[in-house]
């Protein structure tokens, strides 16, 4: 199988997954039988305001238009797909005329920035420290690191985040307890502003890095120990190759691949975990936006965030798959 | 029967030797006792408000303190553990059973049925399930309870075991004993029970534990977004109410720390058990034990 075939089949699969996921997003609200229109009407009348039936009918009609609930199921589905294709997800209900996509685009950079940087850092740390710890399996430091990782890697991000807030914001007030930048300041491209953003990102980033580092470390250590006992590594040792060469060229290089696969498998969990972490830190990313949408039952916004997230996760998986052949020393696509 | 007792004895011996497995098992036993025995001793429904004085720090009378709502955290914790474990078990087992059955069918029948099942499963594995769960949760917010959460988690994760079980069955199908079974006219159920299950059960038990993890963790994640069974006591909703009443800001540490530490310890115990089981069931380690263990 050549490289073009691999790329094409992978892209086909990617499109198919997105299509099925989007169709599920269309089907689910209709199966659960909950109507977003009812929610909106309930909220309108909950404040004690009175609407005469004709006005109410008008509101319902315009809401149906808005949510794409007009016509038969098939027509609704076509409008739904058409709207997605043009990235028109409708207006947000709580901030009425603002389109959902504008709100999401405003908070998406925060999430992607935080997530990609922390994933990269924790990944590199896990690979090198895990690889070395596996090679020097018996040393005290390696054993301590292993114990630490075992305890840490199962903790959900937001739980560790809570512990950090408790420790470093209230008991020892070093870092801010939440937010993405200081209240009352404008975000500009000045050094001061960037430092402020980084300062606010330290605690959430640290929670993400430590937990993902722990998970990566454990897998990497195991792989490293297995590779250490392989024949070719033994042979390299007999040849009296440099220890560094053995460690980097033999052990870490060959353990990289399962790490990429592991990252791909856990990506969805990492993403939603980080959304919850944002809620705990009230970090201005997609998670906080989702939280706000959920408490105000902003149906359009929830749907928009779901579809964006599905799109983001599957696309990252696709990218990871394309990186795959470059990392694997054994696979050559010609 | 005699064989079973022998296996159980060997297993007990192994547990005794593997210290971290042993510790994990003890921790889980304590949690199970709290959840399924101690919780029934509660003198009142701990979910009810104002059954205890408000915001008391841990003391002899209230071992884990009380909440702003006047709930005794100790009794609340036992109920929360019970519900969280029920969600974990049901969420784990439902999906595992559906997925394994489909895996059995796909692997055993082969051909077009196999291709259909495994292709659909592949697509569903790649879909970010948690986002779908959040979407569903937001739509049926009012109907969320312990049962619906468990069923939801179970049904939506059906695709995970299909591939693994299928590939195991594919290799088992080519074994001689399977051919003997087929030629002697046994039906699928009998073959599965007699010859497939014993080979697949180790993997299934590992997967079950990992899925319990996932289900309990997901419930907490959902609860942070306010999408769990808010009125029930679970580890997630305990955290939800604590965050909602700004327990951290107001220095009510025990309220946040009780579910937090419990979750960390519960996850740790499950992890230790899963690692211990893995090494116990791993054929290489088994062989080593048989050679060196005499």
CATH superfamily name and code, A100-296: MetI-like (1.10.3720.10)
Q: Taking 60 as the threshold, does the pLDDT of residue A334 lie above it?
A: no
CB pairs under 8 A between A and B: 121
Of the listed ranges A199-208, A274-283, B7-16, the least confidently predicted one is B7-16
Inter-chain touch A279–B224, beta carbons under 8 Å? yes
Q: Helix (H, G, I), strand (E, B), or coil: what is residue B159? A: coil
For residue A191, give how far its alpha carbon lies from the nearest alpha carbon of chain B (Å). Answer: 31
pLDDT, residue A329, reads 64
Asked if B284 is an interface residue toward chain A (Cβ–Cβ < 8 A), one would say no
Q: In terms of CA atoms, which chain B residue is nearest residue A291?
A: B225
Q: Name the nearest CA neighbour of B69 among B223, B229, B255.
A: B255
Q: Taking 90 as the threshold, does the pLDDT of residue A59 lie above it?
A: no
Q: In terms of CA atoms, which chain B residue is nearest residue A315?
A: B126
Q: Taking 70 as the threshold, does the pLDDT of residue B2 lie above it?
A: no
As a whole number, mean pLDDT of residues B188-193 equals 81
Of residues A17 and B199, the one with the higher pLDDT is A17
Both tokens of A188, joined, read 């500009």
The H-assigned helical ranges of chain B are 2-17, 19-36, 73-109, 111-126, 129-139, 146-156, 160-173, 176-183, 188-191, 197-224, 235-244, 253-281, 283-292
Of residues A289 and B11, the one with the higher pLDDT is A289
Asked if B5 is an interface residue toward chain A (Cβ–Cβ < 8 A), one would say no
User: What are the boundaries of each domain within chain A?
Assistant: 100-296
The whole domain housing B90 covers 2-293
Complex ipTM: 0.83
Q: Taking 50 as the threshold, does the pLDDT of residue B9 lie above it?
A: yes
Q: Could you tell me if A248 and A155 are in contact, meaning their C-beta atoms sit under 8 angstroms apart?
A: no
- For residue B131, the chain A residues in CB contact (below 8 A) are 268, 272, 306, 309-310, 313
| Extended strands (E) in A4-114 | none
Inter-chain touch B225–A291, beta carbons under 8 Å? yes
Number of domain units in chain B: 1
Q: Taking 80 as the threshold, does the pLDDT of residue B184 lie above it?
A: yes
Asked if A162 is an interface residue toward chain B (Cβ–Cβ < 8 A), one would say yes
Asked if A294 is an interface residue toward chain B (Cβ–Cβ < 8 A), one would say yes
pLDDT, residue A47, reads 67
Average pLDDT value over all residues in chain B: 85
- Tens digits of residue pLDDT in B46-103: 887 777 777 778 888 788 888 888 888 889 999 999 999 999 999 999 999 999 999 9
- For residue B226, the chain A residues in CB contact (below 8 A) are 291, 294-295
Q: Could you tell me if A276 and B225 are in contact, meaning their C-beta atoms sit under 8 angstroms apart?
A: yes
pLDDT, residue B77, reads 92
- Tens digits of residue pLDDT in A75-116: 888 888 888 888 777 777 777 778 888 888 888 889 988 988
Q: Could you tell me if A301 and A92 are in contact, meaning their C-beta atoms sit under 8 angstroms apart?
A: yes
pLDDT, residue B293, reads 47
Predicted TM-score (pTM) of this structure: 0.86
| Nearest-by-Cβ selection for B221 from A150, A155, A272 | A272
- Tens digits of residue pLDDT in B238-255: 999 988 888 877 878 888
pLDDT, residue B14, reads 75
- For residue A32, the chain B residues in CB contact (below 8 A) are 136, 139-140
Q: Helix (H, G, I), strand (E, B), or coil: what is residue A306? A: helix
Chain B from 99 to 128: CB within 8 A of any A CB: 122-124, 126-128
**Banded model confidence at residue B176, pLDDT cuts 50, 70, 90:** confident
Looking up residue B76, the CATH number of its domain turns out to be 1.10.3720.10
Rg of chain A (C-alpha set): 25
């Amino acid at each position: 199988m050549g490289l073009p075939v691999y790329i094409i089949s992978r892209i086909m699969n990617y499109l198919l997954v997105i299509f099925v996921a989007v169709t599920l997003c269309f089907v689910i609200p209709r199966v659960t039988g909950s109507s977003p229109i009812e929610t909106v009407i309930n909220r309108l009348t909950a404040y004690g305001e009175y609407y005469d039936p004709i006005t109410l009918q008008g509101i319902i009609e315009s809401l149906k238009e808005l949510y794409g609930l007009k016509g038969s199921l098939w027509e609704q589905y076509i409008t739904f797909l058409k709207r997605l294709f043009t990235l028109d997800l409708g207006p947000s209900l709580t901030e009425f005329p603002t389109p959902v996509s504008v709100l999401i685009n405003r908070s998406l950079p925060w999430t992607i920035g935080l997530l990609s940087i922390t994933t990269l850092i924790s990944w590199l740390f896990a690979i090198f420290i895990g690889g070395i710890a596996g090679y020097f399996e018996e040393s005290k430091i390696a054993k301590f690191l292993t114990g630490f990782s075992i305890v840490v890697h199962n903790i959900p991000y937001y739980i560790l985040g809570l512990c950090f807030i408790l420790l470093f914001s209230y008991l020892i007030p070093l870092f801010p307890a939440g937010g993405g930048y200081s209240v009352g300041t404008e975000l500009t491209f000045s050094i001061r502003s960037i430092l402020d953003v980084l300062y606010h990102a330290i605690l959430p980033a640290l929670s993400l890095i430590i937990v993902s580092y722990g998970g990566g470390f454990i897998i990497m250590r195991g792989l490293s120990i297995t590779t250490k006992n392989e024949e070719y590594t033994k042979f390299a040792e007999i040849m009296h190759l440099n220890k560094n060469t053995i460690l980097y060229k033999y052990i870490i290089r060959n353990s990289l691949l399962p790490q990429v696969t592991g990252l791909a498998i856990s990506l969805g969990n990492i993403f939603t975990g980080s959304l919850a972490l944002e809620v705990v830190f009230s970090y201005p990313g997609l998670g906080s936006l989702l939280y706000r949408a959920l408490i105000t039952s902003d149906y359009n916004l929830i749907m928009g965030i779901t579809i964006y997230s599905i799109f983001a996760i599957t696309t990252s998986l696709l990218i990871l798959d394309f990186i795959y052949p470059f990392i694997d020393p054994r696979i050559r696509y010609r | 029967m005699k064989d079973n007792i022998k296996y159980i004895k060997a297993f007990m011996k192994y547990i005794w030797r593997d210290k971290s497995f042993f510790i994990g098992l003890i921790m889980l036993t304590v949690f199970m006792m709290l959840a399924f025995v101690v919780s029934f001793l509660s003198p009142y429904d701990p979910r009810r408000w104002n059954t205890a004085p408000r915001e008391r720090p841990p003391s002899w009378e209230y071992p884990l303190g009380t909440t702003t709502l006047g709930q005794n955290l100790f009794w609340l914790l036992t109920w929360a553990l019970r519900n969280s474990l029920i969600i974990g078990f049901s969420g784990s087992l439902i999906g595992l059973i559906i997925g394994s059955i489909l895996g059995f069918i796909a692997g055993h029948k082969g051909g077009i049925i196999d291709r259909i099942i495994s292709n659909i499963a592949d697509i569903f594995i790649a879909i970010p399930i948690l986002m779908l769960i959040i979407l569903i949760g937001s739509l049926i917010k009012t109907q969320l309870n312990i049962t619906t959460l468990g069923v939801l988690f179970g049904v939506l994760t059906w695709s995970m075991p299909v591939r693994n079980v299928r590939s195991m069955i594919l290799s088992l199908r080519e074994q001689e004993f399977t051919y003997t079974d087929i030629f002697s006219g046994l039906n699928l159920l009998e073959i599965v029970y007699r010859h497939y299950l014993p080979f697949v059960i180790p993997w299934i038990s590992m997967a079950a534990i990992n899925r319990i993890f996932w289900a309990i963790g997901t419930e907490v994640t959902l609860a942070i977004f306010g999408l769990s069974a808010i009125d029930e006591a679970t580890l997630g909703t305990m955290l939800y109410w604590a965050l909602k009443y700004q327990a951290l800001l107001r220095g009510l540490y025990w309220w946040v720390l009780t579910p937090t530490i419990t979750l960390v310890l519960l996850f740790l115990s499950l992890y230790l058990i899963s690692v211990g089981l893995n090494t116990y069931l791993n054929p290489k380690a088994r062989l080593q034990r048989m050679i060196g263990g005499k």
